[in-house]
């Protein structure tokens, strides 16, 4: 084969690879987007049922078109950027940072052994990096809005996300120790060896810490202090309205989906289940994912909100020592076995 | 509030770098229960100073009361504490009746107690709902509204209105209960005691709730008395003061119920007091329903009760006209509309002690109507309660003293 | 042909771009469809229905810096732990003891910060 031919072949291969990646990424993002849209619907419906009311039931049969109506409404709203905004560019870019960082992790999260946009070595690290990036959007939004409430909300968000970041990062160390890998596909495969094909049992402390930290990372009740409606009105996005608000909203729900997916992959055994469902390889994955999302919603309907000092106390004084303890115990047991 | 103005002036003029952080909370804020405005001075997340600024809902009810007749004024009292308007109506009617020297028939008294206690439950339910929502427990909110809805439906059947009842009138009540209402109330009193544990399981055993309410916004009994707190907010600090017990009116002295008292003086204690009061109110309604059966068919309005259309004019003074103008209060009997004099009657409404001070110069309308609104007094306690607390706690504290701005601003 | 390691990260970038484009498209559609009826009050910052007064930028609590510093310490610790955790099977008992000593040392600093009120917000 001559040089030119090899070059062409490589080029062709690269283009094909990029094309396939683009296609895969597009599928994943669109499916995730649909999920996000319908999570908002399910959330309202489920919370409605938990609170003895109906939830959305006007738009379409059983309110099924409600998310679409919401998007249409938000998209036809006037775009308002307050004149007091400090830096227009930061104000405009902040929701994009949140959104992109929140959704990009989807690229590395395996839904099935052969269905992941890209199977990289350090995929867990990518997810963690992206989840800490998304807090930048929140802090920048709070800072750029130049309003008292968003300023306080931004500060709170910054400190909260940073604190729970550590707990989350440490809670995953136990998983890495057991699996001996940072590759999420490998982690799922390694879980076959553990009881019930899940790590949630040997890593019960880690799972517990991770779930709490994940709720705090995504600013959901009972840790929704940065946007505590009854204290800071809406916190960091108080000045955002219309479609820019929707971007933050999307980012929050993407974060929720990503965190739930990460929990499924790292602790609940990914796509493996007690028995195989022929034809639908993602069945167990989706089932676990939906359960975790339901769990998020359930928590929201049940718990009151923490106070700021209590939240920080929980993060620093309980979760971090617990996750460190988890590492030591995991190592000890692994040495013994 | 001169202090707040001063601060703002200073803030604009001088270098504010070293000054504390000022935040306006309200009037347009999701958690200030109406249009209360709090001017906060923050140090980090802590409050160093708090100025409540009121008046955004001022409608001049006291002044308006001087231009309406005694009967028409009942409608104004609906708009005071619009969450429990029946209790306000009763308080006002008691004052006017005392002024006129009217004797209210027993059946009307029982009916009044029932609507008062229903108002208490409805008000406490709404309080619990919003208080829980403020702290972030969303589900309790809707559970409470479900039961409040039931009460409002009963109200609707009683008097046709859900929020502004105007059910009592001077000399009694407008209408008797139909058998269906009594049946419905029996059902309610049967079911409601089971509902209270439902709320309690939602929040009372929740660690986050306890953390957010215990030891927050503590006020000692002595200080509470000095600040003029009344009602559940006072009883939460261990002061045994409930007008239904201490100065019984209507038929409260015949009824068997306990005064709800807690001793810690924090948000949680005030919450406990209200929960207990709901149970007691339920008991009272039940007893009243039994008493109602004893006086079936009796009148619900005094025979000599004034009509809705009272003569508005003041009887002319002797020097102005030789023959003082007599007006018909009761058909055929010529008397002055209302005896001259003044009267103060206080009743225990859900929020605290609601007092009506009426001055009559003999005309069909009060010469002066002064309302001692518990919410107004309670707001003056906010600076003391909020000092040194966190921003999140203000919400819990304001919620726990249960203010209604309609009553405060009047 | 195998995909080289660094190329494998390109799809992450592609995903990010797709999400960004979706977001951008929403904003652009909004610019086209949304009404524009400007008046000055609409562009005021929200302050509970009152015209905003004074500076919003302000000195804030030193504790936020303290948290940031502690975060740096602990995050670096987590970064140290990751490679150790992955190779845990190969490096064996001695490395475990080393890491326990490392965590213990860190805990000393942690409790120092705790006792000095680093995690105290009141």
Asked if residue B378 has pLDDT above 50, the reply is yes
Question: Within this chain, do residues A235 and A291 fall inside the same structural domain, yes or no?
Answer: yes
Instruction: For residue B332, name the pLDDT band (cuts at 50, 70, 90).
Output: very low
Residue A121 C-alpha from the chain's centroid: 20
Indicate whether B14 pLDDT > 60: no
pLDDT level of residue B10 (50, 70, 90 thresholds) = low
Return the minimum-mean-pLDDT range out of B172-181, B319-328, B351-360, C24-33: B319-328
Has residue C55 been placed in a domain?
Answer: no
B318 pLDDT tier (thresholds 50, 70, 90): very low
Average pLDDT over residues A232-250: 80
Residue B254 DSSP class: G
Tokens of C96: 């475990």
Q: Are residues C35 and C73 in the same domain?
A: no
Closest by CA to A248, choosing from A224, A281, A279, is A224
Average pLDDT over residues A105-122: 82
Confirm if B372 and B354 have CB atoms less than 8 A apart.
yes
Whether B269 and B260 have beta carbons less than 8 Å apart is answered as no
Question: Using the beta-carbon criterion (under 8 Å), do A307 and B146 form an inter-chain contact?
Answer: no
Percent of chain A at pLDDT > 90 equals 0
Residue of chain B whose alpha carbon sits nearest to that of C52: B24
Average pLDDT over residues A235-258: 84
**pLDDT mean across residues, chain A:** 83
How many B×C Cβ pairs under 8 Å?
A: 36
Q: Does residue A52 share a domain with residue A82? A: no
Residues A112 and A250 in one domain: yes
The answer to whether C111 faces chain A, any CB pair under 8 Å, is: no
Q: Is the separation of the CB atoms in B54 and B37 below 8 Å?
A: yes
If you search the block for the tokens 């440490």, which residue do you land on?
Answer: A170
The more confident residue out of A174 and A1 is A174
- Per the model's pLDDT, the better-predicted residue between A77 and A233 turns out to be A77
Q: Per-residue pLDDT for A257 more than 80?
A: yes
Identify the pLDDT of residue B313: 53
Chain A residues bordering chain B (beta-carbon distance below 8 Å): 47, 50-53, 148-149, 152, 221-222, 224-225, 228-233, 300-310
Nearest Cβ partner of A309 from B135, B138, B390?
B390
Average pLDDT for B180-201: 87
Is the pLDDT confidence value at B308 over 80? no
pLDDT at B311: 55
Question: In B, which residues are within 8 Å of C47 by CB distance?
Answer: 24
pLDDT for the residue numbered B6: 65
Pick A308's closest partner by Cβ from C60, C68, C121.
C121
CA distance A224 to chain B (A): 9
pLDDT for res B319: 43
Q: Does B210 touch chain A (CB under 8 A)?
A: no
SS3 A118: coil
| Domain coordinates in residue numbering, chain B | 64-304+339-360
Q: What is the pLDDT of residue B249?
A: 84
A148 and A251 in a single domain? The answer is yes
- Chain C window 75-94: which residues touch A at a Cβ cutoff of 8 Å? 75, 78, 81-82, 85-89, 92-93
Per-residue confidence (pLDDT) for residue B222, from 0 to 100: 86
Instruction: Looking at the complex, report in whole angstroms how far the Cα of residue A296 sits from the nearest Cα belonging to chain B.
Output: 14
- C67 and C110 inside one domain: yes
Are A218 and A299 contained in the same domain?
Answer: yes
Cβ contact A118–C11 (<8 Å)? yes
- Minimal Cα distance from A236: which residue of C? C46
Q: What is the DSSP string of A256-295?
A: HHHHHHHHHHHHS-TT--SS--TT-TTHHHHHHHHHHHHH
CB of B110 closer than 8 Å to CB of B188: no
pLDDT for A304:
80
Range of the domain at C38: 2-43
Are A144 and A233 in a shared domain?
A: yes
CB proximity C4 to A under 8 Å? no
> Contact B23/A148, CB-based, under 8 Å?
yes
Nearest-CA distance from A148 to chain B in Å? 7
For B130, nearest residue in chain A (alpha carbons): A230
- pLDDT value, residue B334: 47
Model's pTM, two decimal places? Answer: 0.82
A219: alpha, beta or left? (left if phi > 0; alpha if psi -120 to 50)? left
Of A22, A48, A68, the last residue of a domain is: A68
Q: Are residues C33 and C76 in the same domain?
A: no
Residue of B nearest to A234 (CA): B30
Domain count, chain A: 2
Of the two residues A132 and C52, the one the predictor is more confident about is A132
Q: Are residues A83 and A218 in the same domain?
A: yes
Indicate whether A54 and A96 sit together in one domain: no
* Chains linked to A by 3 or more Cβ pairs within 8 Å: B, C
Of the two residues A255 and A276, the one the predictor is more confident about is: A255
Q: Which residues of A touch C114 (CB under 8 A)?
A: 316-317
User: Each residue of B261-297: pLDDT tens digit?
Assistant: 888 888 888 888 888 888 888 888 888 888 888 888 7
Same domain, A3 and A131: no
Output the six-digit token pair for B274: 């209200």
Which residues constitute the domain of residue A17?
1-68
Q: Is residue A165 domain-shared with residue A197, that is, in the same domain?
A: yes
Residue B13 has a pLDDT of 54
As a whole number, mean pLDDT of residues B34-48 equals: 79
Asked whether residue A193 carries a pLDDT value surpassing 70, the answer given is yes
Fold of the domain spanning B64-304+339-360: Cytochrome-c3 Hydrogenase; chain B (1.10.645)
Q: How far is CA B208 from the centre of its chain?
A: 30
Contact criterion met (CB < 8 Å) for A231 and B391: yes
Per-residue confidence (pLDDT) for residue B321, from 0 to 100: 42
| Chain C residue whose CA is closest to B23 | C47
Q: What percent of chain B has pLDDT over 70?
A: 86
Confidence class of residue C46 from pLDDT cuts 50, 70 and 90? confident
DSSP alpha helix (H) spans, C1-122? 10-33, 62-86, 88-115
- Our CA-based measurement puts residue A121 at a distance from the nearest CA of chain C, in whole angstroms, of 8
Mark yes or no for CB contact C53/B8 under 8 Å. yes
pLDDT at B309: 57
Measured CA to CA, the distance from residue A276 to residue A282 in angstroms comes to 10
CA C106 to chain B, closest CA, distance in angstroms equals 29
Among B208, B215, B399, most A C-beta atoms within 10 A, so best to mutate, is B208
Q: What pLDDT, on the 0 to 100 scale, is given for residue B312?
A: 53
- In a shared domain, residues A32 and A153: no
pLDDT at residue C55 in the model: 66
CA distance to partner chain A, nearest, from residue B317 (Å): 57
What average pLDDT score do residues A317-328 get? Answer: 87
Beta bridge partners of residue B55, listed in sequence order: none
Beta-carbon separation of C121 and B21 below 8 A = no
Rounded CA-CA distance A290/A42 in Å is 10
Q: Quick one: pLDDT band at residue B138, thresholds 50, 70, 90? A: confident
pLDDT reported for residue C41: 76
Look at residue B362 and tell me whether its pLDDT is greater than 80: no
Which pair of tokens denotes residue A331?
């190592």
Residue C94 has pLDDT above 70, yes or no: yes
pLDDT score of B167 more than 50: yes
Triad A11, A13, A16: Cα angle to 5° = 110
Question: Among B20, B36, B139, which would you mutate to test the A interface (most chain A Cβ atoms within 10 Å of its Cβ)?
Answer: B139
Of B12, B27, B44, the CB nearest to C54: B12
Q: Determine what percent of chain B is predicted with pLDDT higher than 90.
A: 0
> What pLDDT does B5 receive?
57
* Residue-averaged pLDDT of chain B: 80
Identity of the residue in C8, C15, C43 whose CB atom sits nearest the CB atom of A106: C15
Tell the burial category of C93 from Cβ atoms under 10 Å away from its Cβ (0-12, 13-18, 19+): exposed
Tell whether C63 lies on the interface with B, counting CB pairs under 8 A. yes
Q: Which residue has the higher pLDDT, A42 or A198?
A: A42
Band the pLDDT of B317: cuts 50, 70, 90.
Answer: very low
User: Which range has the worst mean pLDDT, A92-96, A234-238, B34-38?
Assistant: A234-238
Closest chain C C-alpha to A56 CA, distance in angstroms: 24
Looking at residue A226, its pLDDT comes to 67
Cβ separation C43–A83 shorter than 8 A: yes
Confidence of residue B333 (pLDDT cuts 50, 70, 90): very low
Domain count, chain C: 2
| Chosen from C40, C86, C95, C111 to mutate, greatest number of chain A CBs within 10 A | C86
Mean pLDDT of A40-58: 86
Q: Say yes or no for a CB contact (<8 Å) between A309 and C60.
A: no
Helices (H), B217-309: 221-227, 232-235, 243-246, 267-294
For the beta sheet containing B37-43, the strands, ordered from the edge strand earlier in sequence to the opposite edge, are B21-25, B37-43, B46-53
Is it the case that residue B316 has pLDDT exceeding 60? no
Residues C82 and C110 in one domain: yes
pLDDT tens, residue by residue, C55-89: 666 666 677 787 888 888 888 888 888 888 888 87
How far away is chain A from the Cα of B396, in angstroms, using its nearest Cα? 10
State mean pLDDT over A5-11: 80
- Most confident range, picked from A159-163, A197-201, B94-98, B363-367: B94-98
Q: Are residues C7 and C34 in the same domain?
A: yes
- Tens digit of pLDDT for each residue in B43-83? 767 788 888 888 888 888 888 888 877 878 888 888 888 88
């Amino acid at each position: 084969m001559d040089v030119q031919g090899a070059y062409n072949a490589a080029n062709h291969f690269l283009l094909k690879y990029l094309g396939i990646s683009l296609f895969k990424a597009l599928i994943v993002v669109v499916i995730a987007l649909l999920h996000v849209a319908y999570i908002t619907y399910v959330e309202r419906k489920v919370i409605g049922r938990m609170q003895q009311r109906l939830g959305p039931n006007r738009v379409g049969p059983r309110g099924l078109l409600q998310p679409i109506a919401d998007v249409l409404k938000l998209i036809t709203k006037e775009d308002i950027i307050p004149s007091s905004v400090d830096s227009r560019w930061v104000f405009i870019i902040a929701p994009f940072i949140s959104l992109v960082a929140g959704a990009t992790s989807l690229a590395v999260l395996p839904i099935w052994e052969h269905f992941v946009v890209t199977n990289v070595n350090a995929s867990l690290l990518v997810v963690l990096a992206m989840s800490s990036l998304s807090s930048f959007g929140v802090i920048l939004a709070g800072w750029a809005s130049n309003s008292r409430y968003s300023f306080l909300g931004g500060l709170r968000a910054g400190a909260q996300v940073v604190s729970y970041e550590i707990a989350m990062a440490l809670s995953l160390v136990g998983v890495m120790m057991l699996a001996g890998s940072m590759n999420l596909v490998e982690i799922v495969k390694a879980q076959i060896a553990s009881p019930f094909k899940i790590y949630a049992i040997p890593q019960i402390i880690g799972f517990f810490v991770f779930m709490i930290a994940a709720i705090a990372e995504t600013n959901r009740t009972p840790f929704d202090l940065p946007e505590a409606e009854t204290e800071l009105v809406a916190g960091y996005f108080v000045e955002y309205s219309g479609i820019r608000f929707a971007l933050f909203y999307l980012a929050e729900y993407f974060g929720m989906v990503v965190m739930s997916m990460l929990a499924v992959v790292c602790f609940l055994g990914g796509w493996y289940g007690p028995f195989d469902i022929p034809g639908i390889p993602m069945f167990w994955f989706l089932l676990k994912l939906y359960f975790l999302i339901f769990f998020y919603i359930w928590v929201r309907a049940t718990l009151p909100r923490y106070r700021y000092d209590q939240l920080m106390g929980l993060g620093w004084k309980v979760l971090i020592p617990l996750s460190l303890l988890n590492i030591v115990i995991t190592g000890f047991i692994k040495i013994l076995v | 509030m001169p202090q707040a103005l001063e601060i703002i002036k200073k803030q604009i003029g001088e270098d504010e770098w070293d000054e504390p952080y000022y935040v306006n909370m309200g009037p347009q804020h999701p958690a200030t229960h109406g249009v209360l405005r709090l001017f906060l001075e923050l140090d980090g997340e802590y409050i160093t100073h708090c100025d409540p600024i009121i008046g955004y809902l001022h409608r001049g009810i006291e002044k308006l009361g001087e231009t309406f007749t005694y009967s028409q004024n009942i409608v104004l009292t609906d708009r005071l504490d619009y969450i429990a308007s029946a209790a306000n109506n009763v308080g006002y009617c008691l004052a006017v009746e005392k002024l006129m020297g009217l004797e209210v028939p027993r059946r009307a008294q029982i009916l009044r107690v029932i609507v008062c206690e229903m108002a208490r439950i409805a008000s406490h339910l709404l309080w619990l709902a919003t208080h829980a929502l403020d702290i972030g427990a969303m589900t309790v909110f809707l559970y409470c509204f479900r039961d409040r809805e039931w009460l409002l439906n009963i109200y609707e059947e009683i008097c046709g209105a859900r929020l502004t009842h105007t059910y009592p009138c001077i000399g009694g009540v407008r209408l008797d209960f139909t058998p269906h209402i009594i049946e419905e109330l029996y059902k309610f009193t049967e079911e409601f005691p089971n509902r209270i544990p439902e709320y309690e399981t939602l929040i009372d055993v929740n660690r986050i709730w306890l953390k957010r309410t215990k030891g927050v916004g503590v006020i000692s009994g002595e200080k509470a008395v000095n600040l003029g707190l009344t009602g559940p907010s006072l009883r939460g600090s261990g002061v045994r003061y409930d007008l239904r017990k201490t100065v019984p009116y209507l038929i409260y002295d015949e009824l068997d119920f306990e005064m709800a008292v807690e001793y810690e003086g924090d948000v949680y204690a005030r919450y406990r007091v209200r929960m207990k009061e709901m149970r007691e109110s339920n008991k009272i309604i039940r007893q009243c329903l039994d008493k109602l059966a004893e006086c079936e068919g009796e009148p619900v309005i005094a025979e000599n009760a004034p009509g809705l259309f009272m003569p508005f004019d003041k009887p002319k003074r002797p020097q102005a006209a030789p023959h003082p103008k007599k007006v018909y209060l009761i058909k055929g009997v010529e008397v002055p509309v209302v005896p001259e004099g003044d009267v103060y009657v206080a009743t225990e409404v859900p929020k605290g002690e609601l007092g009506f001070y009426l001055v009559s110069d003999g005309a069909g309308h009060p010469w002066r109507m002064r309302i001692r609104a518990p919410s107004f007094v309670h707001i003056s306690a906010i600076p003391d309660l909020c000092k040194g607390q966190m921003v999140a706690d203000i919400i819990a504290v304001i919620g726990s003293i249960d203010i209604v701005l309609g009553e405060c601003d009047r | 042909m195998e995909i080289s390691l660094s190329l494998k990260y390109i799809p992450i970038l592609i995903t990010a771009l797709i999400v960004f484009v979706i977001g951008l498209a929403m904003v652009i559609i909004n610019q086209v469809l949304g009404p524009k009826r400007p008046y000055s009050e609409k562009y005021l910052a929200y302050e509970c229905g009152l015209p905003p007064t004074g500076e919003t930028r302000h000195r804030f609590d030193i504790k936020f810096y303290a948290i940031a510093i502690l975060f740096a310490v602990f995050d670096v610790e987590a970064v140290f732990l990751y490679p150790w955790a992955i190779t845990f099977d190969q490096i064996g008992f001695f490395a475990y003891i080393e890491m326990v000593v490392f965590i213990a040392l860190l805990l000393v600093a942690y409790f120092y910060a705790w006792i000095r009120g680093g995690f105290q917000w009141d």
